[in-house]
């Protein structure tokens, strides 16, 4: 199998592929909380950190075309790198992520509304900067906390990673009890069995 760069697939093309019954596995790498709020029908939730920890287990069950989804495309790109490093090349990234899918007016499953991870990062970073700047009136050294947050955000932009986002994704708010490697692999195996029975 030759190595080629990941291709993006636009939301309408993906929807047409799903409607026509093509073998496509949609892997949503957002947090379980984000997935619960809104997701593409038939998608599997494999949070990015879980995918990284158990990539070989998951790769063994990704035998069809895989479309990686996140909010806007950044985490899906990181997931693509992780899976490509493990030797998987049948990968696509949903152009525009869930934002693109929803703006195209395509069907979604909705659950309890939760803040997406990027919004949580903005809240925490902004709150830390604001409180440290205000607190520096009484304790001047607090200004360095604001500088540290600014430096962290700059590094996050340059490296296309986000340590604060990774930490926030581990909070109970962003987790689901059923989102573990074993339960996801069991869902993938069951799906493969059902597909084999239909064919």
C-beta of residue 114 within 8 angstroms of C-beta of residue 173: yes
pLDDT for 97 equals 95
Sheet bearing 91-94, strands edge to edge: 7-9, 91-94, 65-69, 24-28, 44-45
Centre a 10 Å sphere on the Cβ of residue 49 and count the other Cβ atoms it contains: 14
What is the rounded CA–CA span in Å between residue 191 and residue 39? 18
What is residue 44's three-state secondary structure?
strand
pLDDT for 157 equals 80
- Give the global pTM: 0.73
Closest CA to 99 of 75, 67, 71: 71
Domain boundaries, the chain: 7-114+178-198, 117-168
What is the rounded CA–CA span in Å between residue 3 and residue 30? 26
What is the rounded CA–CA span in Å between residue 184 and residue 194? 15
Alpha helices in the chain (DSSP H): 11-19, 32-37, 48-53, 55-59, 74-85, 97-103, 117-135, 143-159, 163-168, 181-198
Q: Give φ, ψ of 7 to 5 degrees.
A: -105, 150
CATH architecture observed for domain 7-114+178-198: 3-Layer(aba) Sandwich (3.40)
**What does the pLDDT look like over 2-52, one tens digit per residue?**
445 668 999 999 999 999 988 899 999 998 888 989 999 999 999 998 899
Angle between helices 117-135 and 143-159 (to 10 degrees): 150
**Cβ neighbourhood burial of 61 (10 Å; 0-12, 13-18, 19+):** middle
pLDDT for 183 equals 76
pLDDT for 164 equals 85
pLDDT for 41 equals 95
pLDDT for 2 equals 43
**How far apart, in Å, are the Cα atoms of 175 and each of 29, 31, 35?**
13, 7, 10
pLDDT per residue of the chain (199 residues) written in tens, 0 to 9:
344 566 899 999 999 999 998 889 999 999 888 898 999 999 999 999 889 998 888 888 787 789 999 998 889 999 999 999 988 888 999 999 999 999 999 999 998 887 887 888 888 989 999 999 999 999 999 989 999 998 888 888 887 777 888 788 777 777 765 666 777 777 777 776 666 565 5
């Amino acid at each position: 199998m030759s190595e080629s760069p990941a291709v993006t697939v636009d939301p309408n093309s993906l929807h047409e592929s799903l409607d026509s019954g093509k073998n496509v596995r949609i892997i949503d790498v957002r947090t379980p909380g984000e997935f619960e709020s809104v997701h593409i029908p038939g998608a599997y939730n494999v949070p990015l950190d879980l995918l990284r920890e158990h990539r070989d287990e998951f790769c063994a069950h990704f035998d069809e075309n895989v479309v990686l989804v996140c909010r806007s495309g950044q985490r899906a790109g990181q997931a693509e790198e992780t899976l490509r490093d493990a030797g998987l090349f049948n990968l696509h990234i949903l152009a525009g992520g869930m934002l693109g899918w929803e703006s195209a007016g395509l069907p979604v499953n909705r659950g309890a509304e939760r803040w997406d991870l990027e919004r949580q990062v903005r809240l925490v970073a902004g709150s830390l900067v604001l409180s440290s700047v205000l607190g520096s009136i009484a304790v001047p050294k607090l200004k360095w906390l604001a500088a540290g947050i600014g430096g962290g955000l700059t590094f996050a932009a340059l490296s296309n990673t986000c340590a604060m986002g990774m930490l926030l994704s581990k909070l109970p708010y962003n987790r689901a009890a059923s989102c573990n490697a074993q339960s996801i692999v069991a869902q993938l195996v069951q799906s493969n069995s059902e597909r084999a029975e239909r064919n």
